[in-house]
Amino acid sequence: MKTEQATFAAGCFWGVEETFRILPGVISTEVGYSGGKGENPSYEEVCSDATGHAEAVRVEFDPEKVSYEQLLEVFWNNHNPTTPNQQGPDHGTQYRSVIFYHTPAQQQLAEKSKSALEESRKWRNPIVTQIVPAAPFYRAEEYHQKYLQKRGLDSCHL
């Protein structure tokens, strides 16, 4: 089986990971930090807003079972891409909306999907999601991995 990787940031990584983890065709997920300065940052450093890293989820998937386009659709439908550095009650650059593409094909598909979403006028405000090359990914501390699953939860929402 040939797998591919996708990396997304869409707010607190606990809920984002769970959303992707349960999709058929997703082989594995892990949460971490990407897109900023400094190697192997801690959660506390990222939350201090000093590193510029985003809370991100790296997804390993089987493209025969779930396409990158389908992953993009899940990404767009599970957060608000119009709020800079914020998702719900969470504020800070670590909560920004980012698609970290791994290949030129992923970049093209991400840009195409963003344009289609903008043209749909689903959102009143402009989409602020960044589409950038995949940066080094630093795996978050173990207690963050599969956080919701470990607690028998399927979302962060109250």
Q: Which residues are catalytic?
A: 12
CA–CA distance, 141 with 118 (Å, rounded to integer): 35
CA–CA distance, 101 with 133 (Å, rounded to integer): 5
Q: Which residue has the tokens 């119009």?
A: 82
